[in-house]
Every structure is written in C-alpha cells, then in structure tokens.
Amino acid sequence: MLHFIESLKQKNETLFYFGLICFAFAMLCLLLSKLTSTEVFGVSAWIKPFKFSFSTFLYCWAMAWYCAYLPNFNIQLFNWSTIILLGFEIVYIAFQASKGQLSHFNLSTPMYSVLYSLMALAATLVTIYTAYVGILFFSNSFPDLPDYYVWSIRLGILIFVIFSFEGFVMGSKLTHTIGGPDGGPGIPLLHWSTKFGDPRVAHFIGMHALQVLPLVSYYLFKNTKAVFIVAVIYFLLSLLTLMQALKGRPFVKSKQIEESVKI
C-alpha cells in the first residue's frame, strides 16, 4: 500500500493531494454526522458531503493512476478541471449541509436553482472529460501493459460514464426515491431506501466500476476473456439495480436489514 501511495504521488502529485484532501474532509464529515444533530429528511446532513467527498477521493486517485499511462496527455488541464468542477460540488454540498438544507433538487429560490444547475453541469463536464480519457485508452496501444489490465481500464471507464449519466434519471425526477418520498428508512451509512426504489444504487455500483474492474483484473483474474465476462456481469448487475429501482422496488428491504442485524 505504501508503495502504491508513493508511486501515485510521483505519477500525479496534484490529484494525489486533492484526493487526500477529499479523503480527510470525508472523515471530518463522518465525524460531524455523529457529533451534530442537523438533519435532512431524517438523515444527518453531513452524510451526503461524506459520500461525495469519499467518492471524489476514489475517482481522483484512480484517474491519476490511469492518466499517467496516456501519451501526450495534457494532465494539468485534466487535473485542474477536475479540482475546480468537483471541488465546487463538494463545497456547495457541504455549505448546504451546514445549514440543514438540500443541495440536490433544491429549486426553492432562483439562487439555489442556479447552483443546482451548476452542480449538474460540473458533474456532466467531468463525465465527458472522463469519456474522452476512455476514448484515448481505446485509440492508443499500451505494449508495456498486460492486455487484460488495459481492457479492464477501458471497460471500467465505459461503465463509469454510462452510470454517471444515469444520474440524469434522478435529476429529471428531482428525487432519488421512486414510489415514495425521499427520506425514511435506509441502509446504514449509504441510506439507500429500504422501502422504495432508489436509483442511487445503480449510480454507485456502476460508477465504481472505475476502481473495481482494474483491481480484480490486475490482482485476481489476469485474463482478458475473464475481464470481459466480469465486466458484462458487473454491467448487468448495475442495470438490474436500476430497473429494480425504476419499478419502485428497494435494493434491500427493511425486513432484510432487521434480520441481518439480529443475526
């Protein structure tokens, strides 16, 4: 692990430190969720900035590692685009959390409407830039890297992009719950609804193909055919959870959560 951290720092010091800042802020938000009583929809207001900060940390470190393989890539433009766009999202989400107010789907005032639209634009631009990186991976050859590893990065980025844009499902409905109101009982920490459909499940699973596929490819399968099979299964799992959510069905039901706690 220490070797990985040192190598990552050498490959992309800028995104390394931004990712580290996001991780530290995520831990602070998690602590605040235990120490403060501010809530949104019955959940600590600090859970959302925790999730976004931690996800950004994972994204930054993964992309810092992958982009180092690309020839003639303007890494500084990518770095600062990522920092500005995702940094804006995190700051606004945390600011709203500190006031106990919604960041997403908040159209209660013209200012909040504009800021919500800017968040959506920021997320879209990051996704498009990531898609561009994916195109570069598909259009370049990497003779010094194992084929199965290169394909895991390509497919991981592809699934990430698809399920990043799946966020528009929630944006178009101005809710992350299908079949009922936002809030209510949910899975611990993640707070995915255990009563109604929740597209955040597919969003989460699909986007983290960016980390999961290269990791299992490099350390477990080490086979190109196996990588394709795992990628298809992973994609279908993400798609299945999305279809389940759109039908108003929870990923895990409240009763299942209660039984697992008793066990």
Residue found by looking up tokens 């990051």 in the block: 126
Determine the pLDDT at residue 124: 97
CA angle 130, 135, 138 (to 5 degrees): 130
CA atoms within 13 A on the CB side of 157: 23
**Look-up of token digits 């199965």:** 148
Counting Cα atoms < 13 Å in the Cβ hemisphere of 119 gives 23
- Give the number of domains in the chain: 1
Closest CA to 231 of 163, 165, 139: 163
Q: What is the pLDDT of residue 263?
A: 46
How large is the greatest C-alpha to C-alpha distance in the chain, in angstroms? 55
Distance separating alpha carbons of residues 9 and 5, to the nearest angstrom? 6
105 phi and psi, to 5 degrees?
65, 20
The pLDDT value recorded for residue 253 is: 85
Structural domain containing residue 112 = 2-262
Local structure of residue 193 (DSSP, 8 states): B
pLDDT at residue 257, as a whole number? 52
Residue with tokens 């209510």: 184
| Alpha carbon distance, N-terminus to C-terminus of the chain | 33
Per-position pLDDT tens, the chain of length 263: 788 899 999 999 999 999 999 999 999 999 999 999 999 998 999 999 999 999 999 999 999 999 999 999 999 999 999 999 999 999 999 999 999 999 999 999 999 999 999 999 999 999 999 999 999 999 999 999 999 999 999 999 999 999 999 999 899 889 999 999 998 899 999 999 999 999 999 999 999 999 999 999 999 999 999 999 999 999 999 999 999 999 999 999 866 554 444 44
3-class secondary-structure state, position 52: helix
Number of neighbours of residue 197 by Cβ within 10 angstroms: 24
Rg value, the chain, Cα: 19
pTM for this model (two decimals): 0.94
Sign of the CA dihedral with 20 first, then 23, 27, and 32 last: positive
d(CA 241, CA 200): 9
| pLDDT the model gives residue 208 | 97
Cα dihedral 64, 69, 75, 80, rounded to 10, equals: -20
